[in-house]
C-alpha cells in the first residue's frame, strides 16, 4: 500500500530542479509507512522521469541500477534485500548532494551497502534484528550525511566480528570434543 501511495505521489509531481527534488524526497521519506512496510522493490526508478535536470536524471538512474543489482541478487536473502530497500531514498539523497558519490568506492554509504550485501553478513534472527536497528537508526536522521553511514558501517562490522568470534569459539569447542 505504501508503494502505491509513493508511486501516485511521484506521478502527480513533475520535479523541475534539484532543490525541488530534494524537497520531494524529504516528503516521500517522511510519508507514513514508507521504508517500514514495503517489499524489496526499486522505487527510485520511478523518479527518473520527474527530474528536469539531466544531472539529477543520471544520478537517479545510477542509483536505481545499484538497487536493481542488489534486489536481483538471489544470493542475498529477501530479508536483507528488504533492509537494503529501506535505504533507497537516503542513498539517493546523498548521491544528489555529492557529485563524487559514484566516483568514490571508499565512501561510507557505498561501503555500508557493499558490506550489508556481502556473503559475510550473518543471517540469524539475533543478528538480523541488530542490523535492522542499525538501519532504522540511519533512517531516523533528519539530515542524512556520510558520517551517519560511517557510524553505521562500524556498527555493522562490529556485529559481523562478534558473529565470527562466536563461530570460532564453537569451532574450538567442537575440535576439543573430537580430540
- pTM above threshold 0.75: no
122-169, pLDDT tens digit by residue? 667 777 888 888 988 888 887 888 899 999 999 999 998 998 898 899
15-34, pLDDT tens digit by residue? 444 555 555 555 545 443 44
DSSP the chain: -HHHHHHHHHHH--B-SHHHHHHHHHHHHHSTTTTTS--S---GGGTGGGB-SHHHHHHHHHHHHHHHHHHH-TTS-HHHHHHHHTTHHHHHHHHHH-TTTTT-TTSHHHHHHHHHTSTTS--SHHHHHHHHHHHHHHHT-SS--HHHHHHHHHHHHHHHHHHHHHHHHHHHHHHHHH-
> Considering the chain, what is the average pLDDT of its residues?
75
pLDDT > 70: percent of the chain: 71
Amino acid at each position: 500500500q505504501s508503494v502505491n501511495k509513493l508511486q501516485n505521489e511521484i506521478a502527480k509531481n513533475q520535479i523541475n530542479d534539484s532543490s525541488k527534488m530534494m524537497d520531494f524526497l524529504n516528503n516521500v521519506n517522511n510519508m507514513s509507512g514508507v521504508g517500514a512496510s514495503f517489499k524489496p522493490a526499486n522505487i527510485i526508478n520511478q523518479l527518473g522521469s520527474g527530474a528536469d535536470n539531466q544531472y539529477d536524471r543520471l544520478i537517479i538512474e545510477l542509483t536505481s541500477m545499484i538497487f536493481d543489482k542488489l534486489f536481483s541478487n538471489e544470493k542475498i536473502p529477501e530479508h536483507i534485500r528488504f533492509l537494503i530497500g529501506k535505504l533507497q531514498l537516503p542513498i539517493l539523497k546523498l548521491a544528489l548532494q555529492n557529485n563524487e558519490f559514484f566516483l568514490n568506492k571508499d565512501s561510507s554509504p557505498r561501503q555500508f551497502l557493499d558490506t550489508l550485501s556481502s556473503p559475510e553478513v550473518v543471517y540469524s534472527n539475533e543478528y538480523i534484528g541488530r542490523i535492522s536497528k542499525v538501519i532504522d537508526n540511519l533512517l531516523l536522521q533528519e539530515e542524512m550525511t556520510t558520517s551517519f553511514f560511517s557510524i553505521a558501517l562500524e556498527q555493522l562490522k562490529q556485529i559481523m566480528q562478534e558473529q565470527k568470534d562466536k563461530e570460532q569459539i564453537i569451532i574450538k569447542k567442537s575440535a576439543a570434543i573430537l580430540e
